[in-house]
Amino acid sequence: MRLLKLVPDDTNIRFLRWRLPFYIVSLVLMAASWGAVLTNGLNLGVDFVGGQMIRATFVESTEAPVADLRDDIAGLGYGAPIIQRFGQPNEVSIRMRLPEGQDSAQVKDLADRMTNAIVTEMETNYPGVRIDGVDSVSGKVSSELFETGMLALLAAMVAIAIYIWVRFEWQFGVGALFALIHDVSLTLGLFALTQMEFDLNIVAAILAIIGYSLNDTIVVYDRIRENLKKFRKMPMEELLDLSVNETLPRTIMTSLTTLMVLVALMFIGPATTFGFAAAIAFGIFVGTYSSIYMAAPILIWLRVNSDSFVPSESVADKQEKVARGEV
């Protein structure tokens, strides 16, 4: 049996030659992402803005009557709903905002009445509808969830950067952090652009992206570190190309296998996981790209070279020798 080889043995793609154009493209994409987030905004779910969300499946039809449903619910007098398909075409999520600035007990009463009215309305007008879930989050809790989510993200990113700084060199910590910011920005941009619902589960997806991207970056960095010690005289660009090429079979293999699971989750898994799996799948592309084109070239600009790892070691060696009285 012949074994599968995704990358031929003598592959030598000069990735780093295109570092400047790619950096410009990436910076533009990051700016565009933030622009999209600021202008379009994220389609925040009730987790983050508070309110009511009802999920329903129209079991007997192939497609949910979204327009009719919107009119019907708006007719109830609680304001206009945000109705979205998710997963299968016959599955919808219906979101309602809650009025702000009122006594929480009153809002709670209103929320209950609203949900009951909507559920009753749907059950009378649309036989065969199945209510899959009702979420109700108060404004206070939702802003807390948002804050703890963001805090967790930030804390994780900072700690990661510090670890890499300690294990490698500060330039590598900066590079890894930059790659992470790049990946998170682009993912946020994707959500701003597609207006897919952004809830706490998506934050978990972004965390998975960070984890994956980091894995990729560290594998490349580890090889760079190894090669820096091995090939003292090699120009930095060549060395980075070599490192990326050497790790390329692994990069492709791992991306493919992870994508296989995600694609299965997207198309076979439950509707609730679609956005979530799609986000991670997107993140894998971006994460792989960023390890090669964002995390590696930045080392050139931050002036990493073969001396970066040597001085501290030889200094330590020397001190040790001095201590032993050999010098």
Among 126, 276, 282, 293, binds other proteins (CB under 8 A): 276
Q: Does 212 bind other proteins (CB under 8 A)?
A: yes
Among 82, 174, 200, 310, binds other proteins (CB under 8 A): 200
Among 12, 102, 125, 257, binds other proteins (CB under 8 A): 257
Q: Which stretch binds other proteins (CB under 8 A): 182-190, 199-207, 306-314, 317-325?
A: 199-207
Contact 309/231 with Cβ under 8 angstroms?
A: no
Minimum separation from the CB atom of position 197 to other proteins (A): 14
Minimum separation from the CB atom of position 157 to other proteins (A): 8
Contact 53/46 with Cβ under 8 angstroms?
A: yes
Which of 36/282 has CB closer to other proteins? 282
What token pair was written down for 117?
Answer: 């009215």
What token pair was written down for 3?
Answer: 């074994």
Q: Does 260 bind other proteins (CB under 8 A)?
A: yes
What token pair was written down for 277?
Answer: 């799996």
Minimum separation from the CB atom of position 222 to other proteins (A): 4
Q: Does 121 bind other proteins (CB under 8 A)?
A: no
Q: Please name the residues in contact with 135: beta carbons below 8 A apart, sequence gap of 6 or more.
A: 46, 47, 52, 53
Which of 36/145 has CB closer to other proteins? 145
Among 60, 68, 71, 112, binds other proteins (CB under 8 A): 112
Q: Does 193 bind other proteins (CB under 8 A)?
A: no
Q: For 13-53, what is the HEC assignment?
A: CCHHHHHHHHHHHHHHHHHHHHHHHHHCCCEECHHHHCEEE
Task: Please list every residue from 13 through 52 that binds other proteins, using CB under 8 A.
Answer: none
Q: Does 138 bind other proteins (CB under 8 A)?
A: yes
Q: Please name the residues in contact with 83: beta carbons below 8 A apart, sequence gap of 6 or more.
A: 66, 69, 70, 73, 92, 93, 94, 95
Contact 196/275 with Cβ under 8 angstroms?
A: yes
Closest CA to 127 of 59, 55, 225, 195: 59
Q: Does 9 bind other proteins (CB under 8 A)?
A: yes
Q: Which stretch binds other proteins (CB under 8 A): 14-22, 102-110, 183-191, 312-320?
A: 102-110
Closest CA to 13 of 266, 293, 216, 306: 293
Contact 294/216 with Cβ under 8 angstroms?
A: no
Which of 281/298 has CB closer to other proteins? 281
Per rule CB under 8 A, count of chain residues that contact other proteins: 78
Q: Does 131 bind other proteins (CB under 8 A)?
A: yes
Q: How far apart are CA 96 and CA 80, in angstroms?
A: 7
Q: Does 106 bind other proteins (CB under 8 A)?
A: no
Q: How far apart are CA 50 and CA 92, in angstroms?
A: 18
Task: Please list every residue from 227 through 246 that binds other proteins, using CB under 8 A.
Answer: 246
Among 29, 32, 82, 134, binds other proteins (CB under 8 A): 134
Task: Please list every residue from 51 through 80 that binds other proteins, using CB under 8 A.
Answer: 55, 57
Which of 36/295 has CB closer to other proteins? 295
| CB neighbours of residue 233 within 10 Å | 6
DSSP label at 3? P
Minimum separation from the CB atom of position 279 to other proteins (A): 9
Helices (H) and strands (E) in the chain, counts: 11, 6
Which of 312/319 has CB closer to other proteins? 312
Closest CA to 283 of 247, 259, 253, 248: 259
